[in-house]
Structure 1
Amino acid sequence: MREYKWMSLLSPVLVAIEVMLETYIPFLMGNIIDYGITPGNLAYIQKWGLVLVGLAVVSLVAGSGASWFSSHAAAGFAQNLRHDEFAQVQKFSFANIEHFSTASVVTRLTTDITNVQQAYQISIRIAFRAPLMFIFSMVMSFRVSPQMAGIFAIVVPILAVILYFIIHTAYPLFSRVFRRYDILNRVVNENLRGIRVIKTFDRQEEEINKFKDASNGIFTIFSKAQRLMAMNAPVMTFMINTTMLLVSWVGAQMIVGKTLETGQLVSLFSYTMSILFSLMMLSNIITMLSVSQASANRIAAILREQPSIVNPDNPITTVKDGSVDFADVSMSYLHASHPSLNDVSLHIAPGTFVGIIGGTGSGKSTLVSLIPRLYDVSSGTVSVGGTDVRRYDLRTLRDAVAMVLQNNNLFSGTIAENLRWGDANATDAEVQKAAAMAQADGFVQEMPKKYDTYIEQGGSNVSGGQKQRLTIARALLKKPKILILDDSTSAVDTETEGKIMTALRTELPNMTKIMISQRITSIAQADQIIVLNNGQINGIGTHEELLKSNAIYKELNESQQKDEQDTIKDTEGDDSDASDAGK
């Protein structure tokens, strides 16, 4: 904002010059009529006519300059505000993000900032011009004729009360409109993300109706607000006509009585229009500011939101090794009725392969999200390399921990550009090596442009399994001390998954590998397997140890083996049917 400060200050100065000249011009015109045209004094007309033209030109230049400076300052202000808001969102922890829906953040970064930009431009130009025009016109009308100016003392308060009622009633409606925009944006966002699911379930008609409901909600409230605001024009027209009629009637009486000149009446007509139009301008300004106030409050809510996870004073900038320790850790999400983790204590040695398994809602993802400090614990301590994660510089900690989620994103750009999110300075050889370990190099090499193949938004032009392998390769390029795979091979076949884990264990023996999986076969070779149940550790051990000592693990293993056997039988049955049909 600082770089646009002088423009923001210069615009009102130019507006003041413009308004002073505009309000002086009718006074000059009145004098030209009374002292030039009426007596036929051509010299007077020529002299003051040139002055009038000169003032009009200066007023035009000042007004144009004010418009340019105000629009430029407003655009710059909006740009900075948008940048600050987006930067603030980037600082948010997962807990902060839960306070705002995605659709709401998008609306605040687009529609709301546009409204505030318009309001800012209005504030430094029109909002300054309208009251100045009102004041200067009132002063000049009293100078021309104090008796005639008394009419304004009656009309202005009446008009002000009417406009206040309209604006005061409409303002709450505009706040509701923006809340409805959030709903509409959410519907659109969900549909764009889930278009395949919608078509699979043939839900197009239902989603169209949902969109119509959201759109109709905006239409209903906005129409009500606009109907109220539409009263401005007829009310102003009525008041202008009434006031002009009063000025004409009283002015005619005064001209007949020799207490007012014709030129003065012409000046008063001009001041009447200026006063009433300045009031109408003020009402429109207040309306716009009311709308933008709702937007400004929504933007301020994001800017005021304090990131719940920040760097500590004197942060540690080196991670010693990939060991992980949980000491009496409990974790509860915002508004949750019960903790996701409860009194968890655990040690993971550096360089080990650890598997985590458990039912839905057992706390698996919550447990690993505490390691890179995506959330903070409610109580207890999480340590990496023997140091509490809250003492680390966040960038240092997250450079040491790579996390691959089940539904990880790829971004618009080439495959190489996506992989270099892990390391922007990685060589082509390093990119290919990481992809090879993740079993991605094979299918990438089959693509026409190989690593220069363009990835569409969200990775829509690669399969789920390919996307997961690419995101694993991206994580490996970070060369982290700890690699977390949160069910991130669910779309990969077991043979390919086995090759990935073999490559990780043989080529990166010093890297701590933590893998969440629903498949026991994926983690059976782990050095240590953790069984979670209802946010607590139910068992720890190797595959063989847990089969003997842990009922939950044993039940999961038997269930999955039965499913595999049933699948094999079904496959053999299909093959037999096909063979009989061939005969």
Structure 2
Amino acid sequence: MIKLLSRLKVYKWSIMIIVILTFAEVIAELYLPTVMANIVDKGIVQADTAYIWQSGIQMMVLTLISIILMVFIVFFSAKVSMSYGRDLRDAIFKKVTSFSLQEFNKVGTASLITRTSNDVVQMQTLTMMVLRMMLTAPIMLVGSIVMAVSRNAKLSLVFCVVLPILILVMIFIGMKVTPIFKKLQLKTDALNRVIREGLNGIRVIRAFNKSGDERQRFDDVNRSYSDTAIYANKVMAFAMPVIMLIMNVTSIAIVWFGGKLIGQGEMEVGNLMAFIQYGMQVLFSFMMLAMMFVLIPRAAASAQRINDVLALEPEIHDPKQPQTTNSVEQLVFDNVSFNFENAEKAAIENISFSANKGDQIAIIGSTGSGKTTVINMITRFYEATTGKVSINGVDIKNLTQLELRSKIGLVPQKALLFTGSIADNLRYGNPNASDSDLWKALEIAQAADFVRELEQQLEAPVEQGGDNFSGGQKQRLAIARALVKDAGIYIFDDSFSALDFKTDAKLRKALTAYQDEKIMITIAQRITSVMSATKILVMDEGHLVGVGTHETLKNTNQVYQEIMRSQLSEEEWA
């Protein structure tokens, strides 16, 4: 937690102002009981009305100063804590965007969302409380003890009994709630995960009539979370009654022993009243510290989780001395293998092939054969375990990720659109694209017709995830978005699965005319989708078991023949 709080040093001037204002505000509050004591001992006892009015005005002025100082303290504290929370979220987001898919798999999306929101709020709240209470409490505590001793040193011995008891209570509460709050944050992750899965999978849940099961699953994690939170709050709730009991018993003890001292002529009534106020300030300071002890364990658990994200080093780094390359002329895989973490066997093994400008590469194979993993090597979403992927003879590890991906137009398996307009989505990879560039890409992607039918056409709104479009429309818009980028390598990861055969054929014909200066790599499930490719890669259980044209593989490759038999009739086979 100290490591995270060290990020507050950028606000050192604001914090310094808060410290100075807090010090002044506490001094004003500490002087009030002394003025009140003087009113009693010098004004009331001696029937000096003028002195009472003078001291009363002095108290009013001190109170007004305290209020003004408090307003400025709260303002600066809120400004620092909110800015600190903003900076933490920014740091986490920037860190997360540098992660490879390995890091995402390791932490989990639901947990990353919780750490960016709930955990940051905990640190933000702690910062606010530290600037308000943690600064005020020690100054108030020391000042009140000094002032109380100055009133009567003998009566101040009461604090020698009270303060150790308060310290033990706070230590006990801190030790009890710290592990509970760590569990609570994990349960927050679980709750977030179940909610997210339930919302994203609502269609599947309803289709399989599993709404009841999902409600039960949510009830289980929700109850587990609430039980843990209730238990934590029960432990914290124990603090307030105990502290209030100690405060009241202390007040009784001060009045009891103070009354005896007044009877013996060792203390005046005004001094006793001031001493009671200072005693309450001492105990109130400890109560503020107790509240901090309640917040610190939860914030400490959140801080650890945030630090885990910020300390997590991405497996994929940009080279210290990056190389550059011009337009893409050739892509080469040289004995490339990749293992997922803790996997029993390689996802792909010893993959070698080359693609030149103008080639149309198709990758086909059964589910789980490693097709998508191959293209993830090109984009460096994952780092090859062994072997080398090179563009124009340059190992892609020697290119910056920015330069590498600027040469690639990717259409992923799941067509994802962002909230905004169609134009915003199409310009995602090329902000400077003109409207004519957008329409050209839409024409090639066979999306221009349905976009023209929309009332606002290019400015038509896109809802979250593109939910206001059909699956085929989203796929065609995603393809158009990649084409607008004008990249050297285009990758279509099973991106035609939602298209009918007629639209698929038109799209492929348009892409063939467009591909002369590009390398196009297509992952497909249908044999009819790969027949026209200049080179077909046949994958089977992570191995490249065939490379060639349709005619060559049809006659020589057993795996390709099995795929053909499963999809084509005897007439089509012939």
**Superposition TM-score tier, normalisation by shorter sequence:** over 0.9
Match of 2:143 in 1: 136
CA distance in 2, matches of 1:392, 1:150: 72
Match of 1:457 in 2: 464
1:527 aligns with 2:523: no
Distance apart, 1:153 and its partner CA: 0.5
Q: CA RMSD in A?
A: 1.6
Return the TM-score normalized by structure 1: 0.94
More deviation in 171-180 or 314-323?
314-323
1:45 aligns with 2:52: yes
CA distance in 1, matches of 2:392, 2:470: 36
CA distance in 2, matches of 1:207, 1:73: 42
Match of 2:3 in 1: none
CA distance in 2, matches of 1:55, 1:188: 53
Match of 1:189 in 2: 196
CA distance in 1, matches of 2:429, 2:509: 21
CA distance in 2, matches of 1:446, 1:322: 39
Distance apart, 1:447 and its partner CA: 2.1
Match of 2:69 in 1: 62
Cα contact 1:438–1:472 (8 A) shared by 2 = yes
CA distance in 2, matches of 1:61, 1:450: 57
Distance apart, 1:91 and its partner CA: 1.5
SS for the counterpart of 2:334 is: strand
SS for the counterpart of 1:125 is: helix
* 1:425 aligns with one of 432, 439, 443: 432
SS for the counterpart of 2:539 is: strand
Match of 1:318 in 2: 325
Match of 2:125 in 1: 118
**Structure 2 unaligned blocks of 5 or more:** 1-7
* 1:472 aligns with one of 476, 479, 483: 479
Return the TM-score normalized by structure 2: 0.96
More deviation in 117-126 or 297-306?
297-306
More deviation in 75-84 or 45-54?
45-54
SS for the counterpart of 2:106 is: coil
CA distance in 1, matches of 2:481, 2:126: 44
Letter in 2 for 1:540: V
1:278 aligns with 2:285: yes
Percent identical among aligned pairs is: 36
1:334 aligns with 2:338: no
CA distance in 2, matches of 1:564, 1:107: 57
Cα contact 1:319–1:384 (8 A) shared by 2 = no
Distance 1:202 1:319, change over 3 A: farther
Distance apart, 1:213 and its partner CA: 1.1
Distance apart, 1:564 and its partner CA: 10
* 1:232 aligns with one of 228, 239, 245: 239
SS for the counterpart of 2:525 is: coil
Letter in 2 for 1:383: S
More deviation in 163-172 or 223-232?
163-172
* 1:15 aligns with one of 18, 22, 44: 22
Distance 1:564 1:279, change over 3 A: farther
* 2:517 aligns with one of 510, 527, 551: 510
Distance apart, 1:320 and its partner CA: 3.7
Distance apart, 1:269 and its partner CA: 0.9
Cα contact 1:144–1:264 (8 A) shared by 2 = yes
SS for the counterpart of 2:379 is: coil
Distance apart, 1:470 and its partner CA: 0.8
Matches within 5 A, 1:203-222: 203-222=210-229
Aligned length: 565
More deviation in 145-154 or 323-332?
323-332
CA distance in 2, matches of 1:322, 1:371: 15
1:429-455 deviations in whole A, cap 9, x for unaligned?
A: 110110111111122122222222211
Cα contact 1:382–1:389 (8 A) shared by 2 = yes
SS for the counterpart of 1:531 is: strand
1:26 aligns with 2:33: yes
Cα contact 1:358–1:532 (8 A) shared by 2 = yes
* 2:556 aligns with one of 533, 549, 567: 549
Distance apart, 1:550 and its partner CA: 1.1
Distance apart, 1:532 and its partner CA: 1.1
Distance 1:322 1:493, change over 3 A: farther
Cα contact 2:325–2:392 (8 A) shared by 1 = no
Distance apart, 1:20 and its partner CA: 1.6
Distance apart, 1:109 and its partner CA: 1.6
Match of 2:89 in 1: 82
Distance apart, 1:3 and its partner CA: 6.0
Matches within 5 A, 1:66-465: 66-465=73-472
